[in-house]
Amino acid sequence: MGERGRATTIADVAARAGVSQASVSRVLNGKASVDPEIVRAVRRAVADLGYRPSPAARSLVQGRNQTIAMVVPDLENPLFQGILKGLSVAAAAEGYRVLVADTNERVDDEEEIAIEARERCDAIVLCAPRLPAERLAKLTARLAPAVVVNRTLEGDAPVIGVDYARGIRDLVEHFAALGHRRLLYLAGPESSASNADRIRGVAEAIAADPGMQISVQPCGSRLDDGFAAAEAVVAAQRDGVTGVLAFNDLVALGLLTRLRKLGVRVPEDLSVAGFDDVPMAAFATPALTSLSVPRAELGGQVWSRLRALIAGDPVGHAVVYRPRLEVRESAGPVGAAAGPDAAGPDAAGIEAVGVDAAGIDAAGVDA
Give contact residues for DNA (rule: CB under 7 A): 6-7, 9-11, 18-26, 28-29, 31-35, 37-38, 51, 53-54, 56-58, 60-62
Residue 195 in contact with residue 188, Cβ under 8 Å?
yes
DSSP per-residue letters across 69-118: EEEES-TT-HHHHHHHHHHHHHHHTTT-EEEEEE-TT-HHHHHHHHHHHH
Rounded to a whole number of angstroms, the minimum distance from the CB of residue 8 to DNA is 8
Residue 262 in contact with residue 353, Cβ under 8 Å?
no
By residue count, the chain amounts to: 367
Rounded to a whole number of angstroms, the minimum distance from the CB of residue 317 to a second copy is 22
Closest CB to a second copy among residues 51, 321: 51
Closest CB to a second copy among residues 38, 144: 144
Closest CB to DNA among residues 23, 271: 23
243-246 and 213-218 strand pairing: unpaired
Closest CB to DNA among residues 144, 365: 144
d(C-alpha 5, C-alpha 270), whole Å: 71
HSE at residue 109, side-chain half, CA atoms within 13 A, is 11
CA distances from 288 to 79, 101, 222, 239, 280 (A): 17, 32, 16, 24, 9
Rounded to a whole number of angstroms, the minimum distance from the CB of residue 13 to a second copy is 16
- H/E stretch holding 217: strand 213-218
Rounded to a whole number of angstroms, the minimum distance from the CB of residue 41 to DNA is 9
From the list a second copy, DNA, none, pick the one residue 101 interacts with, judged by a Cβ distance below 5 to 8 Å according to partner type: a second copy
d(C-alpha 168, C-alpha 170), whole Å: 5
Residue 10 in contact with residue 25, Cβ under 8 Å?
yes
From the list DNA, a second copy, none, pick the one residue 32 interacts with, judged by a Cβ distance below 5 to 8 Å according to partner type: DNA
Closest CB to DNA among residues 35, 190: 35
Rounded to a whole number of angstroms, the minimum distance from the CB of residue 16 to DNA is 12
From the list DNA, a second copy, none, pick the one residue 280 interacts with, judged by a Cβ distance below 5 to 8 Å according to partner type: a second copy
From the list a second copy, DNA, none, pick the one residue 347 interacts with, judged by a Cβ distance below 5 to 8 Å according to partner type: none
Rounded to a whole number of angstroms, the minimum distance from the CB of residue 50 to DNA is 12
d(C-alpha 151, C-alpha 129), whole Å: 7
Q: Which residues bind a second copy (CB under 8 A)?
A: 52, 54-57, 59-60, 63, 65, 67, 74-76, 81-82, 84-85, 88-89, 92, 97-102, 104, 113, 117, 119-120, 222-223, 227, 253-254, 257, 260, 279-280, 283-285
